[in-house]
C-alpha cells in the first residue's frame, strides 16, 4: 500500500487507542517497512510472493518483542515492533486475492458494502486458492513509477504484484474492501497484542489510561 494509505489506516484504527505521540511512533515504524531496505528481500514484511508462512511468522515474531520491551521500560521499541507488524497485517489485504475470495463466497452473488468485510475468515485466510502478487524484478520496479506503469503493465504476468495489488484508490472499487479489512485487522492485531496485559503495561504501551 502507499505510505499515505498505511498511515490513514493506522490513524483510523487507533485514534482513540494510542496517545498522539505514541501513535506517531507506531506509524513511523509501519511506514519504515517500505524503505528500499525493507522492499528488497523482505517478502515477509509485505505478504509478497506468496510468502504466507513467513509473513505470519514475522507478525508473531514482532509481537513477541512487545511485552519484554515494555517490561524492561523500552516503550518506544515496543511501539516500533507493533508498528512493523501492523504494516504486514495491512498489506495482506492489498497484496493477496483475499478480497476477491471473500466477495466470491457471498451467498446469491450478493456484493456487500466494503464496511461489511470480515478480515478474518479462517477458510479464506488458509484457503488453497489464496495467492499474493509476485514481484517480477527488474521490470516490476518500473511499475512503481506512475508515468511508466501503463507501459510496463502489459508486459507483466497477471499474477504479478503490479496486476494484483490494491495499494491505492487508483486500483478501483476493490480498494475500499482492502482498506476496510485492513482497518479492522489492525484493531484485531492490537487486541491480540494487549491480551493479558496489566493496566500498567497497557497504559505504558498506549500512552493512554484505559477507560473502564
Ligand atoms: Zn508493504
The pLDDT assigned to 212 comes to 47
State the distance from the centre of ligand 1 to the C-alpha of 85, rounded, in angstroms: 11
State the distance from the centre of ligand 1 to the C-alpha of 211, rounded, in angstroms: 32
Per-residue pLDDT of the chain (212 residues; tens, 9 = 90+): 999 999 999 999 999 999 999 999 999 999 999 998 888 899 999 999 999 999 999 999 999 999 999 999 999 999 999 999 999 999 999 999 999 999 999 998 899 999 999 999 999 999 999 999 999 999 999 998 889 988 999 999 999 999 999 999 999 999 999 999 999 999 999 999 999 999 999 999 999 986 54
State the distance from the centre of ligand 1 to the C-alpha of 46, rounded, in angstroms: 4
The pLDDT assigned to 25 comes to 98
pTM comes to 0.95
State the distance from the centre of ligand 1 to the C-alpha of 199, rounded, in angstroms: 32
State the distance from the centre of ligand 1 to the C-alpha of 110, rounded, in angstroms: 30
DSSP state of 140: H
The pLDDT assigned to 209 comes to 84
CA distance 168 to 175: 6
Alpha-carbon torsion (22, 27, 30, 32), positive or negative: negative
State the distance from the centre of ligand 1 to the C-alpha of 62, rounded, in angstroms: 15
The pLDDT assigned to 109 comes to 85
Within 10 A of 140 (CB to CB), how many other CB atoms are there?
17
The pLDDT assigned to 210 comes to 66
State the distance from the centre of ligand 1 to the C-alpha of 183, rounded, in angstroms: 15
State the distance from the centre of ligand 1 to the C-alpha of 3, rounded, in angstroms: 8
State the distance from the centre of ligand 1 to the C-alpha of 157, rounded, in angstroms: 20
Q: What residues have a C-beta under 5 A from ligand 1, the ion?
A: 46, 91
Domain ranges for the chain: 3-206
In order of 23, 33, 44, 78, the CA distances from 49 in angstroms are: 30, 16, 9, 28
State the distance from the centre of ligand 1 to the C-alpha of 33, rounded, in angstroms: 6
Amino acid at each position: 500500500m502507499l505510505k499515505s494509505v498505511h498511515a490513514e489506516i493506522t490513524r483510523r484504527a487507533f485514534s482513540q487507542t494510542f496517545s498522539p505521540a505514541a501513535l506517531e511512533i507506531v506509524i513511523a515504524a509501519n511506514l519504515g517497512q517500505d524503505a528500499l531496505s525493507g522492499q528488497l528481500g523482505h517478502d515477509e514484511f509485505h505478504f509478497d510472493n506468496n510468502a504466507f508462512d513467513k509473513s505470519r511468522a514475522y507478525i508473531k515474531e514482532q509481537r513477541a518483542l512487545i511485552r519484554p520491551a515494555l517490561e524492561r521500560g523500552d516503550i518506544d521499541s515496543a511501539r516500533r515492533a507493533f508498528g512493523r507488524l501492523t504494516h504486514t497485517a495491512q498489506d495482506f489485504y492489498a497484496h493477496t486475492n483475499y478480497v476477491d475470495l471473500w466477495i466470491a463466497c457471498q451467498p446469491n452473488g450478493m456484493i456487500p458494502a466494503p464496511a461489511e468485510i470480515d478480515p478474518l475468515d479462517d477458510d479464506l485466510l488458509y484457503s488453497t486458492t489464496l495467492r499474493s502478487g509476485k514481484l517480477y524484478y527488474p521490470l516490476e520496479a518500473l511499475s512503481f513509477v506512475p508515468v511508466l506503469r501503463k507501459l510496463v503493465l502489459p508486459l507483466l504476468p497477471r499474477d504479478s504484484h503490479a496486476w494484483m495489488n490494491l495499494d491505492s484508490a487508483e486500483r478501483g472499487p476493490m480498494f475500499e474492501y482492502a482498506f476496510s479489512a485492513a482497518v479492522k485487522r489492525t484493531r484485531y492485531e492490537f487486541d491480540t497484542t494487549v491480551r493479558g496485559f496489566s493496566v500498567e503495561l497497557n497504559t505504558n504501551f498506549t500512552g493512554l489510561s484505559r477507560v473502564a
